[in-house]
Each structure stands twice: as structure tokens, then as C-alpha cells.
Structure 1
Amino acid sequence: MYPDHTHGAPAQRAVQLHQSTPLPPAVAMPTPVVPVQPGTIPAVASVVLPDGRVVTGYAVAPAQPAPVTAKPAVSRAAVNVALGGVGFLAVCGGLILLTSFIAALTAFITQLITLAAVIFGGWIAVQVFSASGHHGGTTVNIRKAVFKRNHFHG
């Protein structure tokens, strides 16, 4: 173990035990409350404890809990979700109208192109087919011709 001056014999130590002394329970006594006028210094109050001690200090009014604010009937998150849904529906309705407008415009332009092709094609057809029956230009009359000695006498 621990060597000491006894040359090899184990050391002996004195053990001291400390016991705590219990305190007597405090008796709850009503504390005098001194009314305080606003804007003035409160008066000093003294309280005598059961064991004879005197405690001196300012009387403090008990702390008032903060007033509870009334919660709205509907939460803000629910209102935001509802407004987002209304906005989404408005955008979808606008997109449907825009899509319908684009489809109608495309159909109208297609009809205009078809009408122009029919009119222009008809005009070209009239020009082509009426050229064979047209009698304008140079007219050549062929009659009996006499060829004498490789010369044409008309």
C-alpha cells in the first residue's frame, strides 16, 4: 500500500465523518404588499421570519402575464394556399383562352392561304387554256404556191 514511517506496516489514516444539519422548514407567511403610486418610489417593507430574522426590501407587485393575442380563425398559410390556387386557375383559364385564340388564328390563316391558292390557280388556268383559242398575233395564209426553178412565186 502506502509506505509511511512505520517501516513496511500499512498506513492508517483517520477518517472524519461530517453530517449535515437539516434546516427547519420555512413557514409560509403572508407578505405585506404596499400599494405603489405610479411615478413614485415604493416604500420599504420589513418582514419578520419565524426564527426571528428580519428581511427588509421593496414590495414588488406580482408579474402580470402578457395578454394572449387572439388567433385568426383561418391561418395565413391556408389563405396563401387558397390565393395560390385561385391564381393558378386564372392562369390556366387564360392559357386555355390563348390556346383557343391561336388555334382559331391558325385556321383563319390556313383558309386565307387556301382561298388565295384557288383564286390565283384559277387565274393561271384561265390564262393557260385561253391561249390556244386566242386569235391575236401574226396570221399566215397558205395558198397554192408555184415553185419554178427553185424560186417561190406567191
Structure 2
Amino acid sequence: MNEPTAYGRPAGHERAAVEVHIPTPLAPAHTTPLGPMQPGAIPAVTSVVLPDGRVVTGYTLNPVHPEPVVTTPPAVSRAAVNVALGGVGFLAVCGGLLLLTTFIAALTALVTQLVILAAVIFGGWIAVQVFGASGPRGGTTVNIRKAVIKRNRFYG
């Protein structure tokens, strides 16, 4: 009696058959609207009979169609916008280059004026050194008192 079965359990302790209960759906109750509604606003009730004999009742819904999206082409093409932005950038660079060239021209004029000023000051110093009376200089001094010139010859 307590001999094991093919499944490893002793005989006499078999389990009872399992019963499966499938619930039967209830028929939907028809309810009235809670608040007062306009007669034209109540949608029609539709009933559908399923293949197994059940009846499904509900309101029909009209599918909502979205508004068509109107795509308007942009007023200005992207290429035109890119060209315009490139032009603005070019003008900004040109303005900077104009300022840079103006600065370089002013710097060149300043350097030129400083060179001229140095030349004038240095040249004046040299002139004072050459033509200034700063004492006797070495060399031969010739005093001419009466000079006689005969036949293109100088007799002193």
C-alpha cells in the first residue's frame, strides 16, 4: 500500500482532479445619463453579438480626424539665409580689417615722424659741431693784405 508509484509518491495519496471554473460575464446594465443632456447630444447605443453568443453594448464613437497640417514653405530659403549670414560675417571682418589697416597706417606715420625728428635733431647737432666756433683748429693760416694779380697770376 505504501509502495512508491512511478512518480515517486506512495500509492493512495493521489491528488484529486483539478476543476477549472470559467466565470461567465454579466450583461452590461443600461444606465441613464446622470445629468440633463440635449436630445441631439446623446450618441446612439450599439450592440454587437460576439461569436460565442455574448452581447457587447456601447456607444459608437466617431473617429477623430486631426486637422490637416498645412505646411507652408519658408518665406526665405535656407541658402539665402546662409548667404546673408556669410555676408554679415564678411562685413564684420572687413570692418576689423579696416580698423587694422588704419592702425597700421597711423603707426607708420608716427614712426616716420619720429625718424624725421631724430634726423633734424642729429643733423642740427652735427651742424653745430662743424660750423660752431669752438676754439682754434689746427692748420695753416694765410693773411692776405695786398694782393697783386697780373696776367692771371697771384702774387702775394
Which TM-score applies when normalising by structure 2?
0.48
Which TM-score applies when normalising by structure 1?
0.48
